[in-house]
Amino acid sequence: DAKTTQPPSMDCAEGRAANLPCNHSTISGNEYVYWYRQIHSQGPQYIIHGLKNNETNEMASLIITEDRKSSTLILPHATLRDTAVYYCIVSHLLNTGFQKLVFGTGTRLLVSP
């Protein structure tokens, strides 16, 4: 399974953009990059995913480098409610056609006033 490397923690001021990096240098051609977050001990929440093109939705933007070895999750205007652990995951495609998500240790983002 492709592994991901994330900084253990980051700080961000409220209202500013939060840029969370992720390294996934061993990613394969058919593996997607997913981002989830977990607030306190709640169930993880899906944020966004992509294969090779940049993606944007109402929550965030995902920038994937051309060689796909790294990506950045961007929260354009961080709020206090964005304080959470953010997981960057490379999906592992099984021969059944289904994917397996292997969560790492994530980045603990603290948004301060």
Partner 1 sequence: DSGVTQTPKHLITATGQRVTLRCSPRSGDLSVYWYQQSLDQGLQFLIQYYNGEERAKGNILERFSAQQFPDLHSELNLSSLELGDSALYFCASSGKGGGLAAYNEQFFGPGTRLTVL
- Residue numbers at the binding site for partner 1 (CB under 8 A): 32, 34, 38, 41-46, 49, 87, 91, 93-94, 96-105
Three-state secondary structure call for residue 80 = helix
Shortest CB 96 distance to partner 1, Å: 5
Shortest CB 95 distance to partner 1, Å: 10
Give the residue with the Cβ less far from partner 1, 21 or 104: 104
Give the residue with the Cβ less far from partner 1, 13 or 46: 46
> DSSP letter at 82?
G
Angle at the Cα of 21 from the Cα atoms of 83 and 108, rounded to 5 degrees: 25
Q: Are 17 and 78 in contact (CB under 8 A)?
A: yes
